[in-house]
C-alpha cells in the first residue's frame, strides 16, 4: 500500500522473486499512469514494472488478494489507512510496514498503532540502510525484518531475499523502529551542518553523538543495543547522513544554505519523514525522560525559527561532560 518511490521499489524486489504483487495508491491518476507506462515515471523513471506487478486504486480489491499486507505510506497517514483496512483484512491477517517514522500527534511507535487498530494481528517491520532507486535497480542491499513472531518474520524475509538482496530477521521491533525514525531527524542535522560548510569533522560528530541519542532512548524503551548498532540503527544512520539520495539530508542542506522549510520540501517533492519525526521524537523523549539535544535542536530550527548557525553554536557550547554516561 503506497506507490511512491519506496513502495514501488519494494514491489519490484518482491516481483523479482516471482511473487504476484498488488500495488495500491490513493491517487487513482497515479495508478492509471503506472498501468499505462509500466513504470513509475513520477518517482522512479526508467525502471520497468514487470507483468507480475498489478496496480489498483481500489483498496478493497487489493486487500482481498492476500493475507499479507505491506504498508509503505508516510507516517502521518498510517493510522488512517489502517482504519480503512480493518473491515477488509481477514482475521489472522498479517501486517508489515516499511514506513520509518512515529505517529505525529502521539509519538507512538507504529507497531503500537497496529495493536490498537488491528489487535491480535501479526506484524513486522521492514527496515535498514536502503535507498529506493538502488533497490529498484536490483543493486546489492541488506535489510532486516523485525517481527512480532518468528514465523511471520521468516516468511517476510523469504519473500524479499534474493541474489543481491540479503535479509536478516529480528524480534526487536522497538529497536528497529526507533533507529529508522530517529536517523531521519539526525540526517537533517547532518545536512544542515554540511549546508553551512562545516565539513567532515562536524558531520562525523553529529553521526556519533546522534547515535548516542538513539542508544539512550532505545535502551530506555527496552531495545537491544545490538539492534541499534545493526542495519536498522547505525547502518541506516550512516547511509542517510552521508548520501544526497536521502530526502532528509537534502532538506538539511537546503536549510543550511538559507532556504525555508516549506520551500525546501516543495522542491524535494516527496514526503520528508524527518520533518515530522522531529516533533514525534521530541514527544517520545520527553515522555521517557531522555535528553536528545541534537534532535531537540532540529525541532527548534524547523518549528521555532532558530537559525542553523546559532543552533550549532548552542550545541558546541553545551556544558562539558563525559562522553560515556
Q: At what angle do helices 247-256 and 261-268 cross, to 10 degrees?
A: 140
SS3 of 320, please? coil
Q: Distance from first CA to last CA of the chain, Å, rounded?
A: 42
Find where cell 540526517 sits: 187
Are 188 and 256 in contact by the 8 Å Cβ rule? The answer is: no
Cα–Cα dist 40/50, whole Å: 12
For 140-143, which contacts have Cβ atoms below 8 Å and span 24 or more sequence positions? 140/164, 140/165, 141/165, 141/166, 142/166, 142/167, 142/168, 142/231, 142/235, 143/167, 143/168, 143/231, 143/232
Burial 184-208 (b: 16+ CB within 10 A, else e): bbbbbbbbbbbbbebeeebbebbbe
Cα–Cα dist 308/295, whole Å: 13
Catalytic residue among 65, 100, 108, 183: 183
Active site includes 183?
yes
> Catalytic positions, please?
183
Amino acid at each position: 500500500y503506497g506507490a511512491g518511490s519506496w513502495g514501488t521499489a519494494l514491489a519490484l524486489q518482491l516481483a523479482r522473486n516471482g511473487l504476484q504483487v498488488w500495488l495500491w495508491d490513493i491517487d487513482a491518476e497515479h495508478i492509471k499512469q503506472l498501468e499505462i507506462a509500466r513504470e513509475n515515471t513520477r518517482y522512479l523513471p526508467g525502471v520497468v514494472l514487470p507483468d507480475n506487478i498489478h496496480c489498483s486504486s481500489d483498496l478493497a480489491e487489493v486487500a482481498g488478494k492476500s493475507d499479507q499486507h505491506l504498508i509503505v505510506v508516510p507516517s502521518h497517514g498510517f493510522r488512517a489507512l489502517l482504519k480503512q483496512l480493518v473491515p477488509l483484512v481477514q482475521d489472522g491477517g498479517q501486517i508489515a510496514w516499511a514506513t520509518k517514522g512515529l505517529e505525529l500527534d502521539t509519538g507512538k511507535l507504529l507497531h503500537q498503532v497496529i495493536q490498537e487498530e488491528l489487535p491480535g494481528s501479526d506484524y513486522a517491520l521492514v527496515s535498514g540502510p536502503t535507498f529506493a532507486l538502488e533497490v529498484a535497480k536490483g543493486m546489492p542491499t541488506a535489510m532486516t525484518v523485525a517481527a512480532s513472531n518468528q514465523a511471520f518474520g521468516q516468511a517476510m524475509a523469504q519473500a524479499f531475499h534474493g541474489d543481491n538482496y540479503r535479509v536478516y530477521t529480528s524480534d526487536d521491533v522497538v529497536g528497529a523502529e526507533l533507529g529508522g525514525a530517529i536517523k531521519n531527524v539526525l540526517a537533517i542535522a547532518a545536512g544542515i551542518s554540511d549546508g553551512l560548510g562545516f565539513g567532515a569533522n562536524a558531520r562525523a560528530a553529529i553521526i556519533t553523538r546522534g547515535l548516542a541519542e538513539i542508544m539512550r532512548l532505545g535502551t530506555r524503551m527496552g531495545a537491544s543495543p545490538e539492534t541499534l548498532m545493526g542495519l536498522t540503527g547505525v547502518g541506516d544512520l550512516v547511509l542517510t547522513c552521508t548520501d544526497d539520495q536521502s530526502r532528509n539530508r537534502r532538506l538539511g542542506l537546503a536549510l543550511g544554505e538559507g532556504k525555508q522549510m516549506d520551500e525546501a520540501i516543495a522542491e524535494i517533492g516527496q514526503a520528508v519523514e524527518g520533518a515530522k519525526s522531529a516533533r514525534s521524537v521530541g514527544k517520545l523523549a520527553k515522555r521517557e525522560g531522555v535528553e536528545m539535544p541534537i534532535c531537540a535542536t532540529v525541532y527548534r530550527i524547523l518549528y521555532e525559527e532558530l537559525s542553523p548557525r546559532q543552533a550549532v553554536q548552542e550545541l558546541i557550547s553545551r556544558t562539558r561532560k563525559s562522553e560515556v554516561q
